[in-house]
Chains A and B, each alone.
Chain A
Amino acid sequence: MMPAEPGPRRPAPATPPNAKTVARLAWLVVAVAAVALVWLYVGRFAGELLAGILASVVLLGALLAAVGKGWQRRYVALVASQGWTYRADDDGARAARFAGTLAMGEGMGVRDVVTGTCEGVSFEAFHTRSNDARTDVPGMAVVAVRAPRSAPDLRIFEEEAPQTFKQDLGLGDLADINFESDAFSRRFFVQCRQRRFAYDVITPAMMEWLLQRNRNHGRWQWIGDWLIHYNLGAFTGDHLVTAVQETVAFLRLLPRIATEPPAAA
Chain B
Amino acid sequence: MVATWVLVGSGLTALVALVTAMQYNRMVGLRNRIQESWSDVDTELRRRHDLVPNLVATVQGYATHEANVLGALTRARAAVAASAARTPQQAAAESALGSALDRVVAVAEGYPELKASANFLALQSELTLTEDRIQAARRFYNANVRDYRNQVRQFPGVLLAGLVGMRDDVACFEVASPQERQAPAVASLSGAP
Interface positions of A (Cβ within 8 A of B) = 178-180, 195-196, 199-200, 203-204, 255-257, 260, 263, 265
Q: Is B67 an interface residue, CB under 8 A from the partner?
A: no
Report yes or no: A263 in contact with B133, Cβ–Cβ below 8 A.
yes
CA distance A256 to B143 in the complex (A): 21
- Contact B129 A256, beta carbon cutoff 8 Å: yes
Q: Would A195 and B140 be within 8 Å (CB), given that A204-B182, A256-B129, A265-B43 are in contact? A: yes
Residues of A within 8 A of B139 (CB): 179-180, 199
Q: For B102, what are the chain A residues with a Cβ–Cβ distance below 8 Å?
A: none
0/1 interface trace, chain B 128-150, chain A, CB 8 Å (1 if under): 11001101100110110011000
Is B168 engaged at the interface, CB distance under 8 Å to the other chain?
Answer: no
- Chain A residues contacting B40 (CB-CB under 8 Å) are 196
Task: Kindly list 11 other residue pairs between chains A and B, CB separation below 8 angstroms, not including A257-B136, A265-B43.
Answer: A178-B143, A178-B146, A180-B139, A180-B142, A196-B136, A199-B139, A255-B136, A255-B183, A256-B128, A256-B186, A257-B132
A204 CA to B135 CA, complexed, in Å: 10
Q: Which of A178, A200, A260, A265 contacts B136 (CB 8 A)?
A: A200
Residues of chain B within 8 A of A196, CB atoms compared? 37, 40, 136, 140
A4 to chain B, nearest CB (A): 18
Q: How far is A263 from B129 in the complex, measured between Cα atoms in Å?
A: 10
Measured between beta carbons, the chain A residues less than 8 angstroms from B136 are 196, 199-200, 203, 255, 257
B43 / chain A contacts, CB cutoff of 8 Å: 265
Q: Indicate if the CB atoms of A255 and B140 lie closer than 8 Å.
A: no
A179 engages B143 (CB within 8 Å) = yes
Q: Which of B133, B142, B146 contacts A257 (CB 8 A)?
A: B133
Closest CB-CB distance, B193 to chain A, in whole Å?
Answer: 17
Query: Which residue of chain B lies nearest to A200 when distances are taken between CB atoms in the complex?
Result: B136
Tell me which residues across on chain A come within 8 A of B183, comparing CB atoms. 255
Q: Which residues of A contact B142 (CB under 8 A)?
A: 180
**Shortest CB distance A167–B (Å):** 15
Closest to B39 in A: A265
A265 to B183, CA, bound (A): 20
Nearest residue (CB) in B for A262 is B133
A245 CB, nearest partner CB in chain B, Å: 22
**Roughly how many angstroms separate A179 CA and B140 CA in the complex, as a whole number?**
9
Q: Given the complex of chains A and B, what is the CA–CA distance between A84 and B118 in angstroms?
A: 40
B134, closest chain A residue (CB): A257
**Contact assessment for A257 and B129 in the assembled complex, using a CB-CB cutoff below 8 Å:** yes
Distance of A204 Cα from B143 Cα, bound (Å): 13
Query: Scoring B residues 43 to 55 as 1 if CB is less than 8 Å from chain A, else 0, what string do you get?
Result: 1000100000000
Residue in A195, A199, A256, A265 with the greatest tally of chain B CB atoms within 10 Å: A199
Ranked 8 nearest A-B pairs via Cβ? A199-B140, A257-B132, A200-B136, A265-B43, A255-B132, A257-B133, A196-B140, A199-B136
Residues in B with CB closer than 8 Å to A256 are 128-129, 132, 186
A-B contact pairs, 25 of them (CB 8 A): A178-B143, A178-B146, A178-B147, A179-B139, A179-B143, A180-B146, A195-B140, A196-B37, A196-B136, A196-B140, A199-B136, A199-B139, A199-B140, A199-B143, A203-B135, A204-B182, A256-B128, A256-B132, A257-B132, A257-B133, A257-B136, A260-B129, A263-B47, A263-B133, A265-B43
